[in-house]
Structure 1
Amino acid sequence: MEERTQPGDAICETDTSLHNACVVEIITLGGLDIRFRGKSLIESRSGLRRVLELLKYLIAFRNRRLLPEVIIDEMWPSCDFVDPKSVLRTQVFRLRCLIKDIVAETGCQDTPWMELNSTNGFYILEVGSRCRVDADIFEETIAYAEATEQEDVSAAISLYKKALALYQGAYMAGHVRGDWLTPIQNHYHRVYMRALFRLLELLRNANAYHEIIETCGKAFWIEPHDEALHLCFLQALTDMGDTKSALSHYSYLTSFLERELGVKPSAALRAFYRKLQQRIDESHETDLVLIKKSLIDDERAGAYRCDVDHFRSLCQVEIRRSLRTGKPVFLGMITVSGLDGSRNGKQAQTVADRITHMLSSSLRKGDVFAWWNQNQVLLLITLQDRKNVNKVGQRLHARLQEIADKENVRARLEFQPLTPEISLLVY
């Protein structure tokens, strides 16, 4: 067996070297694949599920001596095999056959680049220097970038970008049994996030706002829920003077986080929004036409959905308008719960989506609604005549009940006047 790759060797290789004779890529970031000259060597063997699971494990702990008992306990913790060592020996035999086949497919039998050996009661998957493991290159490139920062920031930025491009998702992403993979995935995710934010910091110091936006855009595919990443993106937009795009992204982000995670905007996000609004207010270059363009509503029919903070402001506006015009304003609330009384069921998101669609299509364009939490949505309705609230309530209750019956949940609708003339109405 040939010598293993030394630290730093992979960095010195050019990208074209990966396509030279007998140089094999082992892809682990985003899934497992073994490629030779751009072609997958294991994609057509997806039916060998248990063998490929063993291959994942051994690649993760490559070039290390592993006891059979440890492999069994970590890979199949809940499997009640009569003879687990025999099961492992069978999978090892099949994996050796697979390795032999893919090594032969590369035409490198004279200098095998991967071998599964057993010695003194241990198994060891030996991976030679002809292999380029993306996870190794990823960490080495980041280390090289960190060491280069003081001397050449531009080179460090380039290295960080090269490293981040390798991270295409969680380490060995895909179904595996046991918890052995989780700590490794967490490690590489931490390394990725640390490098990502260090790159963003260097770009910010260089006022490279376009590059920040491009970098964040790529990272959103990996980390769509990270608020700190979105804040970097929003800050770069505002630093470029593109406040309209920043407002649009803030609106998208708050709706996305509420829809996907059921969470409200954080204090940091709300603080950014206030600063953004203040910046717009203080700008002397924004004329009335641009303000109108940024504020005008879209042409979609139906009610307006907003976040809770915006809903609160609109309530204050409508109360003041009602005092002046005499038109009644009602605060409504829909509460959804399971038939057993539980307020957090598996269908919560499905029910929320259906109720959102129902409200958008059933209420008027002047009405407003906002999700207060995962199971409650608030309504703000202004009417010409307070008697019409019963018609609105009966119509919404009927459509709400259709959803409740289909999804096997309970739904309660009630209205409370924001002016004190009328008592609570429950449907």
Structure 2
Amino acid sequence: MKLSISTLGEFDIKSDGQSILKQSSRTYRLNKLFEYFITFRNKKLLPEMIIDNLLSESESDDPKNMLRTQIFRLRKIIKAFLPEGADESEYLMINFVNGYYCLEIGEKTEIDVDEFEALIHRGDMDMEHDPESAARLYQGAIKLYKGLYLSDNAYEVWLVPTRNYYQRLYLKTLRKLIELLKEKNENETVVALCEEALLVDPYEESIHINLMEAMLHQGQQKNALNHYEYSMKLLMRELDIKPSAMFTEMLNKIQNHVSKDNPADFNSINSELEDENLLGAMQCNIDSFKFLLNLQKRKSFRNDENDYLCIMNINDSNSRKSKELSEILRYSLRKGDVFTYWNQSQILMILHDVKDGGIDVVRDRIYSKIRNSSLIKERDVSFSFKPLMQEEPAVQH
């Protein structure tokens, strides 16, 4: 009989594939003590250190005696895991020698983190001369990672360094495996790998980026765009921070992605480049807006067109209203107009060839749709207009 201890994800101990930990009766403190010994296995631990980490909030007048009692009870639980008459030193044994406690792991006990690190080390050794073997070893390690180290014990400070170490090692190994798969153009495998990884770590940007890139290589532009929109909302909602420039740059890659494997013809060009919805004004990101703004300025040098740049200021900057507000602008402006979000409280617009009184018409139409929608109050919205080719006034000193 062998014991298998799982720590990557939920803590469990199995024998012959069956959990024996869940069948046992343990208090929260005993469970925490057990996890502490597993984390610092084969290391000498002073009683004072254990008390500081696990019993500092206890109201006991004699914390050392309390620790001794808990360790006595934990030893009985460990013994109950083992076959009758088994040598404890072959499995798990808590010793007390020269003032130190130590959980010693015997040859009949396996811990997933030890196998996890061993597979990665072997993969690193094979990387140069046998990348296929390295990929198999990395895949084996990644399958062992079911979540954060001792994920069911979320709030212990002493766990943070160990938990962060294994998470970093997992992500580093995942990146190495993805690079090996990319070299062989195994994009379908990369997609499946990233989708599984996101079940474990849904907030890691690099996994989302690799997933979208692999989708693009498979020609799945719509799937990549859908995933970008989903992951952007997820990261901003859960982490409350703006994603990195590398992440946001994926939108440009997705929007500008065109497969060049087949010769160009008008049908393929229309299929790849034309928007599905040509109704109303066009919404774009800030980089595309910059490009269109400069293009329109260049055209205005030759054509007699009255183009305007407009700033729409919104006092109520609730980001959850942006989708509804975009719909209002899309159908208040004309097909030749363009708009983008400068920030949560300002929207930029290019109004193409505005005739006499056209500015008032645009403003009134937007105000009318805002009133009808009850989305935001009319008094919370204001506009600034400037002819696209107007020279800026000189600064007076």
TM-score range, shorter chain: 0.7 to 0.9
Q: CA deviation at 1:41?
A: 2.5
Instruction: Output the CA distance in 1 between the equivalents of 2:60 and 2:304.
Output: 78
Closer/same/farther in 2, CA of residues 79 and 29 from structure 1, 3 Å limit:
same
After superposition, residues 272-421 of structure 1 pair within 5 angstroms as: 273=252, 277=256, 280=258, 285-295=263-273, 297=275, 307-312=285-290, 330-335=310-315, 351-353=318-320, 355-356=321-322, 358-359=324-325, 364-365=330-331, 372-373=342-343, 376=345, 378=347, 380=349, 386-387=360-361, 389-390=363-364, 392-393=366-367, 396=370, 398-400=374-376, 412-417=380-385, 419=387
Encode CA deviations 1:228-280: one digit per residue, 9 max, x unaligned: 44444444445455555555555555555555544255157638935972x63
Aligned to 1:130: 108
Following the alignment from structure 2 to structure 1, what is the Cα–Cα distance between the partners of residues 73 and 121? 37
CA RMSD of aligned residues (A): 4.3
Tell me if structure 1 keeps the 8 A contact 2:315–2:380. yes
1:27 aligns with 2:6: yes
Compared CA separation, residues 151 and 314, structure 1 to 2 (3 A): closer
Q: 1:61 aligns to what?
A: 40
Pick the aligned partner of 1:167 from 145, 150, 172.
Answer: 145
Q: Which structure 2 residue ranges, 5 or more long, are not aligned?
A: 389-397
TM-superposed deviation, 1:66: 1.1
The residue identity in structure 2 corresponding to 1:399 is L
Counterpart of 2:131 (choices 133, 149, 153) is 153
Find the counterpart in structure 2 of residue 5 from structure 1. Answer: none
Q: Quick one: distance in 1 between partners of 2:322 and 2:251?
A: 27
CA distance, structure 2, for counterparts of residue 172 and residue 298 of structure 1:
47
- Asked if the contact 1:303–1:359 (Cα under 8 Å) also holds between the matched residues in 2, the reply is no
8 Å contact from structure 1 (residues 303, 360) kept in 2: no
The answer on whether the counterparts of 2:312 and 2:381 sit within 8 Å (CA) in structure 1 is: yes
The residue aligned with 2:18 is: 39
Q: Deviations over 1:365-386 (max 9, x none)?
A: 566875545x535365979762
Identity percentage over the alignment?
Answer: 30
Cα distance change, pair 301–391 in 1 and its aligned pair in 2 (3 A): closer
Pairing partner for 2:70 from 91, 95, 101:
91
TM-score by length of 1: 0.70
Displacement after TM superposition at 1:139 (Å): 0.3
| 1:77-98 alpha-carbon deviations (Å, 9 max, x no partner) | 5556543323323432443343
Hey, what's the Cα distance between the residues in 2 that align with 1:158 and 1:139?
A: 14
Of the two, which has the highest radius of gyration? Answer: 2
CA contact (8 A) 1:209 1:239 kept: yes
Alignment correspondent of 1:200: 178
Q: Deviations over 1:181-213 (max 9, x none)?
A: 111112112221222222222223333333333
Shift, 1:392, TM fit: 3.4
SS at structure 2 position matched to 1:400: coil
Residues 308 and 371 in structure 1, CA contact (< 8 A), matched pair in contact too: yes
Alignment pair present for 1:71 and 2:50: yes
2:156 & 2:10 partners in 1: Cα distance? 17
What is the identity, as a one-letter code, of the residue corresponding to 2:66?
V
1:154-181, Cα deviation, whole Å (9 max, x unpaired)? 2221111111111122111134554211
Tell me: CA distance 1:274–1:125, structure 2 relative to 1, closer, same or farther (3 Å).
closer
| Aligned residue identity for 2:376 | L
Inter-partner Cα distance in structure 2 for 1:97 and 1:135 = 25
Matched residues, number: 373
Runs of at least 5 residues in structure 1 that lack an aligned partner in the other structure = 1-21, 338-350, 403-410, 421-427
- What is the SS of the residue equivalent to 2:137? helix
Give the distance between the partners of 1:295 and 1:58, measured in 2 at CA.
Answer: 60
Which stretch has the larger CA shift, 154-163 or 327-336?
Answer: 327-336
Instruction: Quote the Cα distance in structure 1 between the aligned partners of 2:48 and 2:268.
Output: 69
Task: State the one-letter code of the partner of 1:386.
Answer: D
Match of 1:3 in 2: none
